[in-house]
Amino acid sequence: MTYHVLVQFDVPPNKRDDFVAAGLFDAESSLANEPGTLRFEVIRDENNPNRFYLDEVYTSSAAFEEHCNNPTIEKFYEMVDSYAYGPTFLFKGERAEPQSS
């Protein structure tokens, strides 16, 4: 089963590009250096240009916890903490699969 996380951040209009750069840094580093990271995308909300989502998929909840303790995420927060509101976790959970009888 895969583990999915969706978090929301709101940023001031003058910091949108900075947030995208920080989010892509986190995504690219996670994908390159954390074998348990399967997908990490930075998504801009179509109705609110100041709202962003980080859509993340891991091999397991343990892989997500490993990501949370990685120096990359610490650097990401250093980059955005002064202006970003979040993260707001919209969901965390395992992909549903059929139950075996």
Across the strands, what pairs with 73? none
Alpha helix segments (H runs only) across 34-100: 61-68, 71-80
User: Residue 78: is it exposed, middle or buried by C-beta count within 10 angstroms (0-12/13-18/19+)?
Assistant: exposed
pLDDT of residue 98: 85
pLDDT of residue 99: 80
Do the domain assignments include residue 62?
A: yes
Is residue 101 situated within a structural domain?
A: no
- Residue 100 located in a structural domain: no
Give a yes or no: residue 99 inside a domain. no
- Give 24-57 pLDDT, tens digit per residue: 999 999 999 999 999 999 999 999 999 999 999 9
HSE-CB of 17 using CA atoms within 13 angstroms: 1
In a domain, 24, yes or no: yes
Could you give the number of structural domains in the chain?
Answer: 1
* Mean pLDDT to the nearest integer, 59-87: 96
* Cβ neighbours for 6, distance < 8 A, ≥ 6 positions apart: 53, 54, 55, 56, 89, 90, 91, 92
Give me the pLDDT at residue 101, please: 61
Q: Residue 77 falls within a domain, yes or no?
A: yes
> Is position 41 within any domain?
yes
Please report, for the domain that includes residue 66, its CATH number: 3.30.70.100
Half-sphere exposure of 61 (CA within 13 A, CB side): 5
Asked if residue 64 is part of any domain, the answer here is yes
Domain that holds residue 73: 3-94
